Chain A
Amino acid sequence: MPIVEIKDLRVTFTGGGKPVPAVSGVDLEVERGETLAILGESGSGKSVTLRALMRLNPEGKSRMEGTVRVAGQDVAALGRRELRAFRGRTAAMIFQEPSLALDPVYTLGQQIAEAVMVHDGCSRNEAMARALALFERVRIPSPERRLQAYPHEMSGGMRQRAMIALALSCRPQLLLADEPTTALDATVQIQILVLVRELQREFGLAVIFVTHDIGVAVEVADRIAVMYAGRVVESGPMREVIRRPRHPYTIGLLRSRAHGALAKGARLETIPGAPPDLADLPPGCPFAPRCFLATATCATTAPGPEPVGAGHQARCLRVDATAALLPAVAEG
């Protein structure tokens, strides 16, 4: 049984005037020990989907529909106590900005020990010992000293490692990562990506890794789900999605990347226009207004997921047309 099962997830933000459907009908599954990368641009609903898994979207200002099951538990039905036990214990999250996720007035050791004591009911000494072991595992140099440090005393990369240690402190089965390397320098980002991959293997974690960067997804993921306007438009094994993309949006993203092999002075292929206003989505395929393959039908009919390979789906009416493009895409 997959550890994460999301069926027809819809999250609507109702705080402002017009309700905004940030996520409209997402189906996803993640197996134990698997890493799924959710790839998307700002406003695609990738972070909202991730937050829904821990019920972190503001309850008064958003409405969540559909089923979200994590490790057999129905996340929407959890009571307050159960939710507390669930967060940290079953699923833990790391964020883009560790300095906002960590408490500035406690040392890192205190924060990790507190989480361990609350969840496992062990003594402070045992909790500190586990914190130390975790700091060593995430390769923080001089870990004893760093446990006594406050978050502001550490560099960005070290804070991110400390947050990973905190997230792993209660031995979760599922790690949710919301762009954890976006704010980091290139030489530090790759260290964190490799670390996440190691930890995933070592602890048998399931990981959902949200990113806007295709390269990051390639480095960490077993499977990729591409999101656009609150929907998963394409999902499949990482190699398949990168080598044989079948949704025009994925194709456009891969083609518009400035990469090393590009000739000097060449023009980038672009996706015209801008992502749509979620409060005012077109009736058919939300990507149709920007799509180079769109037909009149695309503007009126919302496409369902079409199987295009083993475990590979694209939500597009023109998958036949994209199949014809394949050799050209693979070259780029």
Chain B
Amino acid sequence: MNGGSQAATDPGSGRGGPAQPLLTVRGLVRHFALPGKLLGRSKAAVHAVDGVDFDVLKGETLGIVGESGCGKSTTARLLMHLINPSAGELIFDGEKVGSRELPLREYRRQVQMVFQDSYASLNPRLTIEASIAFGPSVHGVPRRQAVERARDLLARVGLDPARFAGRYPHELSGGQRQRVNIARALALRPRLLILDEAVSALDKSVEAQVLNLLADLKQEFGLTYLFISHDLNVVRFVSDRVMVMYLGRVAEIGPSEALFSAALHPYTAALTRSMPSMDPDARTEAPPIAGDPPNPIDPPPGCRFHTRCAFVADACARRTPVLTPAPAAVLPSARPDHRAACLMLEPGSGHPRAPAAPAAAE
């Protein structure tokens, strides 16, 4: 909201204008090769992320949900370039990441990440002040200024620098350490913060504190968040838009409220109904879907969810669905920015519940 302070913290902001997505992800693929069998003809690979496209809009919080093996954490690591994609490109505010206009080093300054394990992500031999000041120093901020910035940020995340600056990670509680990690991520004055299960390991009473802190920081520094979590309640609470992933692909993406109140994809519906009930008089009587998510080494053909889907038809194993908005005829409240990869939405897809092909409709 505070445009002035955003400009102050980031002289490069607004390069592509407010309508330009902050980050555009196109055709992102990452396969992890498995150790090859001696006589195996083709090497098996884990299809961790298998053709993912999405935008992160300026100033929004985009939530990513999905179960283990769906590729949400791999996606985060690919966005940070912690691992290299097998294919695909990232465009950050109109510039291709890794190009001459936006070298990786400059990109990484603007995109920072907070991990789930607050202890493993801090150097145990550095005081927390030194940990926070380390990034800016590497990026050429003079030492004294870097330390000053670190102390400012500590105060900002609710840790009194006079008491905490000289402490080591093991002297802090999990919640305090995660505050330090957030401060460190902000030390380079990034524009995009990737939060990969950043509150998942915290106790519930502490989680609420950190969620409030993240909301404050977002306002104050004009940040954009990519918020990855398996906790649908938290994602629904923090996100403007939500992306649901299943086995390396996007199953559904759309505005948070629309997605949670009227899911288009059967998997999203099953996932939301799988959350434990908070109502003592409305316990879950039967599990919404059976079985475990399949192994991403050998994902099912066609729609990857068809092996567990209640609406499965012959076409589902043959044809790979693409992200499609709900046809207005089916769902009057459909919005073009709410899309799901399901053959039931695709006109003429061959699924009995699919709308008729456009030609036939006219």
Contacts and interface: CB of A to CB of B under 8 A. Distances in A.
Q: Are chains A and B native binding partners rather than an unrelated pairing?
A: yes
Interface of A: 41-42, 141, 155-158, 185-191, 193-194, 212-216, 218-219, 238-239, 242-243, 252-253, 256-260, 262, 264-265, 267-272, 274-275, 290
Contact of B68 (A141, A156, A190): A156
B233 A189 contact: no
A185 B212 contact: no
B233 A158 contact: no
B209 A272 contact: yes
Nearest to B201: A42
Nearest to A159: B292
Nearest to B65: A186
B276 A267 contact: no
B203 A275 contact: yes
B278 A215 contact: yes
A248 to B, nearest CB: 11
A256 B205 contact: yes
Contacts of B283: 218-219
Give the most central of A190, A215, A216, A271: most B CB within 10 Å.
A190
B300 interface: no
Contacts of B208: 256-258, 268-271
Interface residues of B, number: 50
B271 to A, nearest CB: 6
A271 B234 CA distance: 17
B292 A156 contact: yes
A155 B211 CA distance: 32
Contacts of A155: 292-293, 295
B305 to A, nearest CB: 11
B53 interface: no
A257 B275 contact: no
B284 A193 contact: yes
Given A156-B68, A260-B236, A271-B208, 12 more contacts: A41-B205, A187-B288, A189-B276, A191-B290, A193-B276, A218-B280, A252-B205, A256-B208, A257-B204, A257-B208, A262-B237, A275-B173
B95 to A, nearest CB: 31
Contact of A212 (B203, B212, B276, B285): B203
B87 interface: no
B173 A274 contact: yes
Contacts of A269: 208
Give the most central of B260, B270, B278, B295: most A CB within 10 Å.
B278
6 contacts: A41-B203, A158-B292, A186-B67, A218-B276, A253-B205, A257-B278
Contact of B277 (A212, A218, A252, A275): A218
Given A41-B205, A193-B284, A271-B205, A216 B276 contact: yes
Nearest to A189: B274
Nearest to B233: A258
Interface in B245-261: 256-257, 260
A258 B279 CA distance: 15
B206 interface: yes
A216 B278 CA distance: 8
B264 interface: no
Give the most central of B175, B270, B277, B292: most A CB within 10 Å.
B292
B232 interface: yes
Contact of A258 (B234, B271, B277): B234
A237 B44 CA distance: 52
B233 A260 contact: yes
A190 B274 contact: yes
Given A185-B293, A186-B271, A270-B212, A260 B260 contact: yes
A156 B294 CA distance: 11
A257 to B, nearest CB: 7
Contact of B278 (A141, A259, A268): A259
Given A262-B237, A271-B205, A218 B279 contact: yes
B292 A188 contact: yes
A268 B260 contact: no
B270 A258 contact: no
A187 B274 contact: yes
B240 to A, nearest CB: 8
Given A41-B205, A186-B275, A239 B215 contact: no
B271 A187 contact: yes
Given A191-B290, A216-B276, A267-B215, A186 B232 contact: yes
